Structure 1
């Protein structure tokens, strides 16, 4: 009996990262836009903005770039928290910030926006409909993957190479919005979550092989072994010698190869990974800085505190308070004012 084909270890490592992709929804908006219109999408740190065109056409423009056309069925992801413009026409001037416009808040995290000029009688071709959202990922490996994404990830609805799963999700989302039913907005936002993960997977399958950086390092047989060991046990007493031994390389060759692929030295990466792990746990768990210091291999809480503040740019206490503030009960959706989105972050 023939044995099953062996799956490369690099493929296993990438599959494990993709399996852990869990996003945190921040805000969704169903936008109905009538010519002439333009919107400014604000920059939001550590997030991905996405736009699904469910009807009509529009243009997306990144800072300093040319406008890119989007048509019904297209999906655009803007990683890295970049601000950008959505436009009704290619040469439209920048519009108002979307979070400063009046809109109907269905829930605290979902709104309906109607914006633009009055349509001509019976004219539906001049109206664009989009689902826009802002999401982020807390899991450290997912965050590293997002750092590897291009400034704009565009998946065309009419592109033959687009995975059928992406097309199916786009069709389901368009159907939910075209024929509203009770709970339709909840279904649409859940589908949007799925769509973002599917888009990232489709990009990896198609274009990621040519990238450098962390993703390429993960797929390298030797450097990938060291990366996964750090990910699995960040609190171990890792040294350059131990990591090089794991990769079956000399220290100098390992350090040079790791830095070339990943973009930073092994010990610098280890420190940053420990701190992003700590930040993620502070956002999601009831855990103290003292406990994290021990679990992540630091001799004292003070040493951990210094490293965390240097890498993350905030103290452990400030990050923990974010979670506590988010857990504070808010008013019901029915009493929410039509206030700027930015007040909800």
Structure 2
């Protein structure tokens, strides 16, 4: 096997990882909500959900009692797909999201108008009652195609709330969300394409903003990407997983002794470097098996294994089962 290419001395491993993220937008919904209203989002394991308020306001509430109030121009990213309620006020009865009729504008983009139930009767009883408050939201359900994104999700908080009040909403993000709002309101030709790409960029920007501002712990995968001693070794594994890396070679890239590197890697990442390399390869393999018709023999060769049998043994050690293609599930859900 050819020797690996040289890793640049100032390789930005975290930046490379963010660049490699590939979001797969499953649903984008432009919503017009008239009080009283409440929507219950189900848990969506392995997915991310976001809500951007363009008009009015809404409460984002979780079973554990955590809640956030979203004002116009603010974003909430539910990073781990936890079930939650979004409503015009706390305690509002919420309708399951998938039970609410929508207008499908395309395969992935839909319009939702909901709420206002009972307002007509209330207005008959109370003279001069003010008009119902309208809230407009742009929401999305997304998933990461790349193993880096799946690992990143485990490092993120349950909710990233970019708030005007907390002064953690960068001007660049504000500008993008304003453009997203304009596209949603005009629905001009090509608007759906612009909206979906903008939404993906906004989510990545929100994650990047959290990373730069948060005080996350010194250990874990995300910290490893920012660790000057480990970043080059991780970059080598991520970009050249097919190479037969030895601990000595990776330690040399990190500028450390073999024993010191092994101990430091395990302490920060939480697993040995050999296990991490195998796990990274097998997650790449699982993704390709799920997404393409690649043969196991070709996949074994692509990931640096001498035989299909050796590859299959490694796969089973990581996942507890041989590399089989998943059965397609029939579902009536929109994601």
- Which TM-score band (shorter chain)? 0.7 to 0.9
Once the 2 structures are TM-superposed, how far is the Cα of residue 309 of structure 1 from its aligned partner?
5.0
8 Å Cα contact 2:57-2:69 kept in structure 1 = yes
Query: For the structure 1 residues 185 and 263, does the alpha-carbon distance in structure 2 shift closer, same or farther, using more than 3 Å as the test?
Result: same
1:145 to partner: Cα distance:
2.7
Verify the 8 A CA contact 2:21 2:145 in the aligned structure 1: no
Distance 2:85 2:40 in 1: 5
Q: 1:53 to 1:124 in 2, by over 3 A?
A: farther
2:251 aligns with 244
Q: Which residue of 1 aligns with 2:303?
A: 296
Q: What is the distance in 2 between the residues matched to 1:60 and 1:27?
A: 19
After TM superposition, the score normalised by the length of structure 2 is 0.83
Asked if 1 retains the 8 angstrom alpha-carbon contact of 2:80 and 2:154, the reply is yes
Give the distance between the partners of 1:307 and 1:31, measured in 2 at CA. 47
Structure 1 segments (4+ residues) deviating >6 Å: none
| Count of aligned positions | 320
Does residue 214 of the first structure (1) align with residue 221 of the second (2)?
yes
- State yes or no: 1:55 paired with 2:62: no
Q: Give the match for residue 9 of structure 1.
A: 10
Partner in structure 2 of residue 67 of structure 1: 67
- After TM superposition, the structure 1 = structure 2 runs for residues 181-260 of structure 1, keeping only pairs within 5 Å, are 181-207=188-214, 212-260=219-267
Matched, 1:46 2:46: yes
Structure 2 portions without partners, runs of 5+ = 1-7, 124-128
d(CA) in 2 for partners of 1:141 and 1:124? 48
How far apart, in 2, do the equivalents of 1:101 and 1:314 lie? 39
Distance, in Å, in 2 between the alignment partners of 1:310 and 1:88 is 49
Q: What is residue 142 of structure 1 aligned with on the other side?
A: 149
Task: Classify the secondary structure of the residue corresponding to 2:95.
Answer: coil
Cα distance change, pair 253–185 in 1 and its aligned pair in 2 (3 A): same
What SS does the aligned partner of 1:114 have?
strand
Q: Please list, as runs of the form range in 1=range in 2, the aligned pairs for 1:5-44 lying within 5 A after superposition.
A: 9=10, 12-44=12-44
Gap change, CA 1:103 and 1:311, over 3 Å in 2: farther
CA distance in 1, matches of 2:225, 2:49: 25
Give the stretch that moved more between structures: 183-192 or 161-170.
183-192
- Counterparts of 1:108-127 in structure 2 under 5 Å? 108-118=107-117, 119=119, 126-127=133-134
Deviation at 1:283, TM superposition (A): 4.5
Q: Does 1:266 align with 2:273?
A: yes
In the alignment, what sits opposite 2:126? Answer: none
SS of the equivalent of 1:318 reads coil
Moved more, 55-64 or 236-245: 236-245
Secondary structure at the counterpart of residue 130 of structure 1: strand
SS of 2:284's partner is helix
Q: List per-residue Cα deviations over 1:140-186 (Å, max 9, x = no partner).
A: 33333333211111112455442221000111122223344344444
Superposed displacement of residue 48, structure 1: 1.0
Asked whether the equivalents of residues 72 and 157 of structure 1 are also in contact (C-alpha less than 8 Å), the reply is no
Cα 1:51–1:14 shift into 2, 3 Å = same
Q: 1:318 to 1:23 in 2, by over 3 A?
A: same
Query: Equivalent of 1:279, from 282, 286, 289?
Result: 286
Alpha-carbon distance in structure 2 between the residues aligned to 1:248 and 1:43: 44
The CA distance in 1 between the partners of 2:308 and 2:217, in whole Å, is: 41
Q: Output the CA distance in 1 between the equivalents of 2:191 and 2:41.
A: 24
Q: Distance in 1 between matches of 2:205 and 2:302?
A: 34
Gaps of 5+ in 1: 1-6, 326-338
Residue 133 of structure 2 corresponds to residue 132 of structure 1: no
Q: Does 1:318 align with 2:317?
A: no
3-state SS in 2 of match to 1:36: coil
In the aligned structure 2, how far is the partner of 1:35 from the partner of 1:315?
52
Question: d(CA) in 2 for partners of 1:314 and 1:47?
Answer: 24
Q: 1:305 aligns with which of 308, 312, 320?
A: 312
Deviations 1:76-131 (A, max 9, x none): 111123222212212224x2320122211111212212222345679566221111
Q: Distance in 2 between matches of 1:56 and 1:313?
A: 49
